[in-house]
Every structure is written in structure tokens, then in C-alpha cells.
A and B are shown apart, each in its own frame.
Chain A
Amino acid sequence: MAELPEHLLRRSAEAKAKALGISVEEAMAQLKGEAPPSPAPAPTPAPEPAAVATPEPAPAPVAVAVAGDPSKATAVRPVAPPVSGPEGVRTQRLLTVVKAKAIQQAKAEPQDKVNTWPHLMIIEFAALLAVTGILIVLSTILQAPLLEAANFNVTPNPSKAPWYFLGLQELLSYFDPAIAGVSVPLITGLFGLMAVPYIDKNPSTKPADRKVAIFLFTFFLMGSATLTMFGVFFRGPGFNFVYPWHDGIFFDDLKDWVHFENLGGH
């Protein structure tokens, strides 16, 4: 073991001298192993195990620890360990425990991460291919609707908005336009959705803690889905209620998809 630098030894000696009430020179000599340790409370220095084990290889910290608290060291003396340890084995003792403070703490927990390439990108690529495939097959089978040329003089009955607005159109058939045309879609649909993170102050993401939020959102989802389905399938001429299985489907986006004539007369 490398010799401890003089200034460090001196510092230990000063601390020791202060604690034991001896001179710095004496403490220094003890630390260097030149003089026998002078344990004030325990007058029998001979079988002090660590002290005996340490002088030759002289790991200085050990010596400091022993001398720093000789009473304890003697009190908890174990059952006479071998006077000299096996060749090449160095005994060590814990000097002190320093509590971890901010600068010493590693805050980031190790995380279970995988490389984006290939693990994530292979999934994305597969998803992309799948959607392209589905879209091509769908587009080969189903023709996009194209009715007669636009004619301002002929109003089809019923006239329906694109399907994603049909929920709104459905609302319009129940409520005053000022409510269904503006208030509901604009306030709940748009600003309501945008405000969600600022209204929902609950920091938890566990479903069990978010029952109200999940209930409200599911209600919103189901509501819009129901209204849209109603507008698509259950509204016929004059936007009146029809049964799709009896009167047919009045939804031209599906014109080449569902064969209306098989569904009953209209």
C-alpha cells in the first residue's frame, strides 16, 4: 500500500490529539506505528486485533479508525483473529458513512430501453405496409362515390353532410341551430377538448384514479358515435327517422359499397 501523504497524516494526527488530549507529535508517532498506541481507557494494548494486524502493511485509514475510538474497538473485540492474515489479504474497515446529498445522488433511474433501430422502426414499417396494403385492396374493391354532376336545381332528398359532420346535423334536428350549429360543436367540441388538460388537474394516470374523467370522455365518445350512426343509418328523406334494414340506407358515401336494392325498397 502506498504511503499516505504527510499532510493527510498530520491532519488525522491533529484530530486524534485533540480527541485524546495528547500532543500532536505523539499522535503522529502512533499513526506511523512508531510508538505503541496509548489507549487511555483500555490499558492492554497487546491483543488489539486490528492494531496488531495493521502495523506492517499499515493501511493508515484503518489505524485512524482504530485509534480514533479505541474504547469501542476494544469493547467489541472479536474472538482473537489470526495475528497475521493470509499473505496478500488486506483487511479493511469502514471509516465513515457520508449521507448522500444532492450533488452525490444519481437521480436518473436506469430505464429499460431498447434501440429505436431496429425495435421500434420495424413495427412502424410493418404498420405502414399494412395500412398501405389495406388501402390498396379497399380501393381496388370499392369505388369512391361519384353521383350525377352538380345541379343547383335538383336537391337530393335527404341531403347529408360528410359523415364526420353528421352527428352535428343530427343535433340540428333536435335543437335550435344556435345551440346545435354553434354552441355545442364549438364550445364542447373544440374549446372543450382544448381545455381538457387545464380542467383535469388530477395528476394521476391510473384509470382507477380517473373515473370521472374517463366516464365523461367515454360519454362524449359514445354520444358522438351514436349521433353519427344515427345520422348515417337512421335518417331518410326529409331527414326523417327510418329503419335501415327496412327502408334502406340513405348515405351516398356507401353507394357503391352497400347494395341498396338488396336492403328493401326506397
Chain B
Amino acid sequence: MVQKLLNKVKELPASLHGSQVVDSILRPGSPFKKGYSDTPRNRSYVVMNNILYHLHPVKVKRHSVRLSYTLCLGGLSFFLFILLTITGIFLMFYYAPTAEAAYVDIQELSTSVAFGSLVRNMHRWGAHFMVLTVFLHMTRVFYHGAYKPPREFNWVVGVVLLLLTLLLSFTGYLLPWDQLALWAVTVGTNMASFVPVFGSQVKFTLLGSAVVSADTLLRWYVLHVLFFPFIIVIFMAVHFWRVRKDGGISGPL
């Protein structure tokens, strides 16, 4: 009896593999599907039939596959964004954007939350990485002359993405609510007050008050976790779409 049951359990993975349920989840051509064979047709299906992979075309030029061609900088920027989203959501569970709680929350995150310190560090260093990879991606694109017609507009979208990356990083800078955050943001927003004519208005809008305050913390928190991610995702979608659609020197990827 028991032996029979154990045998059933043992056979479970094999019988699941190829069952109607599993088969319905996997799209045709999935390497995890029963009876997958490495044929050109299936290789195409892997890309075409997957919601994430179909960002890519089925085939790419051999020279653009070389790691030294792109250094994966654009892809890594996107990946870091995803990593920052995941770690950021984790951090949001333990953080309240109020002047009283923010600093204490960050301290407790490092001391009494499992992996809290690691995730916070990953979020912080990952953000620095992302600023770097986006910037280097721009540099790489420039030196390849990949902004030339018909891809001019995607370069413009890219510059907007760089700006949004900087804004995301800068709004996050304030959130630990320590001396480093407070005064770096004070210095940063003081620069904004030098905008001609509207200087003080720009600064007031950014800060939600005359100087950095608890209102600023709430404002920058909302900008950091909702507004800028929302905007940057839209621009990223356009950016990736145009990478596929615009032809050019190295062609749509």
C-alpha cells in the first residue's frame, strides 16, 4: 500500500511532464515541453512564443551577438532596473516615509530584518551601477554612431531615460533620512534654484516646502516608488520598441 503510494509520488514528475496542464502552460517550442527537439523551427518558437523573449527578434546578425559589440550595457541597465524594483519592493515593506520613522526603519532594517542589510546594500550599489551602465550604454552608442538616421529619436528617448535614471537615484538618496541624505539633497536642490526666473518656484515644487523637510520626504518617496518608475517604464517600452523597429547600421536587434 505504502509502497504503491511511494511509487506514485516517484512517477509524479514524469507524468506531469507532458500532461495536459503542463502542456497548456508551456507555449509551443518551449525547451521545457515534452518532446522538445533542437530544430530551427523550435529555436524560433522559443523567442516568438514567450512574452519576455519576444523583445528579441528570432535571428540576429552574428556580429551584433559578440559581447564586445554592446557589452550588454543596455540589457544590463534594464536588468538592474528589474533588480532595483524587486529589492525596492522588499524595502517598502519595512519603511515609512515620515521624518520620525524613516531613519529608525533603515537602522532596524539592517539589524532585525532577515537579509535586510543585504537587500538595502544591493539596492544602493545597484542604483549606482545603473547610473553607470546607462551612461556607459550611451557612450557605447555614440562611439558606434548608432544614433544616426533612422534612429535619431531613439537616442532622444535614451537621453530622457538617462535623466529619469538620475532622478530616480536622486529621489532615493533622500529616503534614509540621515545627514548624508539631507545635505546632499539640500545641495542638489539648491542647484535647481538657480533656474532663471522660476528658480524659487522650481525648488519649492521639488521640495514641497522652502527647505528640505518632512514634506519633501513624503514627496520624494512617492516620486521614487511610483511616479518615476511609472514614467521610466513607458519610456523604456518606447525605447525597446524602437530598437526593434528602426533599421540602421547594425539593424534592428
Encode A131-155 as 1/0 by CB contact (under 8 A) with B.
1100110111011111111111011
Q: Which of B76, B103, B118, B192 contacts A150 (CB 8 A)?
A: B103
Q: Is the CB of B179 within 8 A of A203?
A: no
A151-173: which have CB < 8 Å to B?
A: 151-152, 154-156, 159-165, 168-169, 172
- A interface, over-half SS: helix
Q: Any chain B CB within 8 A of the CB of A245?
A: no
Distance, CA A140 to CA B121, complexed state (A): 8
Q: Which of A144, A159, A163, A214 contacts B125 (CB 8 A)?
A: A144
A202 to chain B, nearest CB (A): 8
Known: A114-B65, A135-B129, A197-B156. A169 touches B196 (CB 8 A): no
Encode A38-73 as 1/0 by CB contact (under 8 A) with B.
000000000000000000000000000000000000
Q: Could you say which residues of chain B place their CB within 8 Å of the CB of A203? A: 148-149
Q: Is the CB of B182 within 8 A of A152?
A: yes
Distance, CA A152 to CA B182, complexed state (A): 8
The residue in chain B whose Cβ has the minimal distance to the Cβ of A145 is: B180
Encode A18-40 as 1/0 by CB contact (under 8 A) with B.
00000000000000000000000
Q: Is the CB of A139 within 8 A of B173?
A: no
A69-125: which have CB < 8 Å to B?
A: 111-121, 123-124
Q: Any chain B CB within 8 A of the CB of A258?
A: no
Q: Could you say which residues of chain B place their CB within 8 Å of the CB of A262? A: none
Q: Any chain B CB within 8 A of the CB of A181?
A: yes
The residue in chain A whose Cβ has the minimal distance to the Cβ of B80 is: A131
Distance, CA A210 to CA B142, complexed state (A): 11
* Best-surrounded residue of A113, A132, A140, A142 (most CB of chain B within 10 A): A113
Q: Is the CB of A162 within 8 A of B43?
A: no
Q: Could you say which residues of chain A place their CB within 8 Å of the CB of B195? A: 181-182
Q: Is the CB of B182 within 8 A of A150?
A: yes
Range of interface residues on B (Cβ < 8 Å): 35 or more
Q: Any chain B CB within 8 A of the CB of A178?
A: yes
Q: Which of B43, B83, B193 contacts A135 (CB 8 A)?
A: B83
* Best-surrounded residue of B124, B144, B212 (most CB of chain A within 10 A): B124
Range of interface residues on A (Cβ < 8 Å): 35 or more
Encode A186-230 as 1/0 by CB contact (under 8 A) with B.
000010011011101011110100100110010001000000000
Q: Any chain A CB within 8 A of the CB of B33?
A: no
Binds A, one of B50-58, B219-227, B233-241: B50-58
Known: A139-B121, A197-B147. A160 touches B44 (CB 8 A): no
Encode B102-125 as 1/0 by CB contact (under 8 A) with A.
010011001000000110111111
Distance, CA A155 to CA B211, complexed state (A): 13
Q: Could you say which residues of chain B place their CB within 8 Å of the CB of A117? A: 43, 46-47, 53
* Given A113-B62, A121-B56, A197-B152, 13 other A-B residues pairs in contact with their CB atoms under 8 A: A113-B60, A116-B43, A135-B83, A135-B126, A139-B122, A151-B182, A154-B179, A160-B187, A161-B184, A162-B188, A177-B191, A205-B144, A205-B148
Spell out B's residues near A (CB within 8 Å): 40, 43-44, 46-47, 53, 56-63, 65, 67, 72, 75-76, 79-80, 83, 99, 103, 106-107, 110, 117-118, 120-126, 128-129, 131, 138-139, 142-149, 151-152, 155-156, 159-160, 162-163, 166, 169-170, 173, 176-184, 186-188, 191-196, 211-212, 249
Spell out A's residues near B (CB within 8 Å): 111-121, 123-124, 127-128, 131-132, 135-136, 138-140, 142-152, 154-156, 159-165, 168-169, 172, 177-178, 180-182, 185, 190, 193-194, 196-198, 200, 202-205, 207, 210, 213-214, 217, 221, 252-253
Which 3 A-B residue pairings sit nearest by Cβ, starting from the closest?
Answer: A181-B194, A139-B121, A197-B152
Sample 25 A-B pairs with CB under 8 A, ordered by A number.
A113-B61, A114-B61, A114-B65, A115-B40, A115-B44, A115-B47, A116-B53, A124-B72, A128-B75, A135-B83, A136-B118, A138-B121, A142-B121, A149-B178, A149-B179, A150-B181, A162-B169, A169-B187, A178-B196, A181-B195, A194-B160, A197-B147, A204-B145, A210-B145, A221-B139
